[in-house]
Each structure stands twice: as C-alpha cells, then as structure tokens.
Amino acid sequence: MAFIDWVLHPTELWAAFWFFMRHAPPDEKTVKLQVSGDMKRCYDFLEMTSRSFAAVIQELNPKLRDGICLFYLVLRGLDTIEDDMTIPGARKRHLLETFHETIYQKGWTFEESGPDEKDALLLVEFDVVINEFLRLPKEFQDVIADITRRMGAGMAKYTRARVESLDDYNEYCHYAAGLVGHGLSRLFAVSGLEAKSVGEELELANSMGLFLQKTNITRDINEDVLDGRCFWPKAVWSKYADSEEHLIDRENRDKGMEALNEMCTNVLQHIPDVLEYLSQIKEPSVFRFCAIPQVMAIATIVLCYDNSRVLDGNVKIRKGEALKLISQATTLDSVKRTFYGYVEQLERKNHPDNPMHGQVAKIIDRTKKDIASTLKGGAPVDFTKEYLVLALFFVTVTAFFYTYLTEKSSL
C-alpha cells in the first residue's frame, strides 16, 4: 500500500527525497551534541516523548531553542500526570494545581505513574528538567511557570467536570492547547525575535491552539470512547446519539456522521485566525515552528470531514503527504497556498445533502476569497506543472539506471 501511495502521489515522493537529503543522519554539529549534561538529557526526553516535535524545536533560533524544549517538557510532565488514570483523584488534583511550584524544587522526581504510562521515565528523572529550567532567564521562567499554573488549574477542574456545552468545549481546549499558544507567543516576544504585540494580543494565539486541539479531539473519537472518555461536547453528540458509545455504533452510522461533520465544522471556523496569526510571525525558524502543525491540522481535518473511517478508528494523513507539508511550510505565501488547496478538497467533499453544507460552504468561500486577495504572484499553484517536472525527473532517473545496468551487463 505504501508503494502504491508513492506512485499515486509522486509530488510526495519528491518531497520525501528532499526532506531526507536535508535531514541527514546527525553528525557532530547537531543540537544534541552541542549541549552536555542535563540539557543533553532534556533533548533525549524530547526525542522520546515527541519525535516530530523534537525535530522542529531543534531547528529553532538558539535564542528560543532550549527555552521551548523545557517548556514542552514541563507541560509534558504535567500532561503525563493528568492522563494517568491510576493516580487517585485528590492526589492528581493536588499535583496538577501545585506543579508550577514543583518546577522550582531542585531534586523533585515522581515514581507513582501507572505501569502503562509511556512517558513515566520523564517524571522519574524530572530533576534534570528542573535543573535546566532554573538556568533559564527569569523572563522565560516566569512565562513557563504562569502557563503551567493556569493549565494545571484547568486540568484539575476537568478531572471532575465534563465537557457539556460548547462553552465548556472551548474552555477545555483553551486549558489544553490555547494556553500553549499563549505561552509560546510570550516566549517569542521576550526572546526579542518577534514583536511585543505577538506576546500581548493573545486571542489569535488561543485560536492557533484550539485549531490543533479540536482537530485531534475530532479525529480521536473512536479511541477516546473505547478508552471510556469523550471530549466531544454533549451539546453536540447528544443530538445524534443516546450515549458516547452509541455515537460510534455502526447501526447509528448516519447520525454519527452528522455529529462528526458538525465537529469538523467547529474546527474549520478557526482558519481565519490561524492565517492572521501566522501573518504576524517574521523570524523564519519561528514561522516554520508555528506553521508546520497548522498545515498538518488542515490536512487532517479535511481528511476527517464526512469520512466514516473516523468513527471506526484513527485516521492519519499519509507520511509522504506530511513530508510534503513540512517542505511547504516555509513562507506565509506557501502556507496560504497549502490551505487554499485543502479548502478546495473540502469543497469537493461538501455535498449539498450534508446538513453542515451551508455553514461549511460559507467558511470555504470566505477562506478562498481572503487567501486569493492576499497571495503574491496571483492564483494558487497549478499542480499540473509539478507533475510534469516530476515525470521528467522519473524519466531521467529511469533512463540513467537503464543505461547503467545495460552497460554493466555487457561487461
């Protein structure tokens, strides 16, 4: 199947070729070998807990790299506690609510994680994260501690509360991801790499986080329900099913699909804010850091829209598609073209008999008009030329190897 995917999507093969050429195996110049001691171990943990995110962080400007690595690890530690269903409720709430103080306690570690907690080792050796956190400039520490405090309080609240209304849903996603957007924006600003306004006007940063979090929640419905939890707001799913389990029941598939499409539509409303936020980011490595997750999200939510496979299991974009998206997330113009392309895919999937058709059509029309009016160099890219170039490339490579093998066989 993977081979067929490459054949059917040759532009992705081209993107993969250049990605692996650019990201060759690490040598003595890599970030991990420029650091030593506890910070090197922190980058090890970054690789263990999020390989894809680790690569993006390691390409950041040195003014931000270590700070954002540690910000990620602190929040990963907090999230590991929140996800662990073996920790008693009262104990968990205390840990979450005081974690912003814990990160100042040298030598603190945690060995109470359940046996199935995949990131438990991070907490077992969390003292190395604390050591490096305490070496950061105070303005970095202040941002990380403040976001940790607010996120921990939100997580503690939702160990007891349920996501009932759309307001609850937005609040939960704010705690889970919107605050990450706040923290990153503030770090960008205090580093001096971005304007102060990026760290002060945070509504767009919140939308960036919500776009990612809601995409994941929408996609992961089957896995979450089977794990005995559901982050879809009851205000949505209760219109289509008697219970969360009924939502993914094949016998209720038509209604389940209507619920899925309503959830996707809720995600899509954040597109204008995402593009507006990215237009404010000027430093190239920061832009890529912000843009890559967003292009992944638009590809994922368009894949999920009106796709019954979401209710049966986890769906993911192709690896080649992901590599292509990474290669395209370099400039605002390129990102806008990427969004435009996926919105066109969405338009083809948005059938008139879909109850969400009208709302989605409005989002599509607005997005296409906004992007087309600001694109440099005219209309979005015509992928026909790209395929012609790739066809020429493959013909050339094939001819080379044919000539080589022919000459070799004649010797």
Backbone angles phi, psi at 88, to 5 degrees: -55, 150
Task: Characterise 192 by phi-psi region: left (phi > 0), alpha (psi -120 to 50), beta (else).
Answer: left
The type of residue at 398 is T
The span from the CA of 392 to the CA of 399, in Å, is 11
Closest CA to 123 of 82, 179, 66: 82
The span from the CA of 351 to the CA of 306, in Å, is 9
Secondary structure (DSSP) of 147-198: HHHHHHHHHHHTTT----SHHHHHHHHIIIIIHHHHHHHHHHHHTTSS-GGG
Q: At what angle do helices 51-58 and 37-49 cross, to 10 degrees?
A: 130
The span from the CA of 66 to the CA of 89, in Å, is 33
CA angle 172, 362, 383 (to 5 degrees): 100
Closest CA to 186 of 138, 144, 150, 221: 144
The span from the CA of 279 to the CA of 328, in Å, is 16
Burial of 272 (0-12, 13-18, 19+ CB in 10 A): middle
Q: H helices within 313-382, ranges in order?
A: 319-328, 332-349, 357-374
The span from the CA of 194 to the CA of 62, in Å, is 14
CA angle 18, 21, 22 (to 5 degrees): 85
Catalytic residues: 172, 219, 229, 289
Backbone angles phi, psi at 405, to 5 degrees: -70, -35
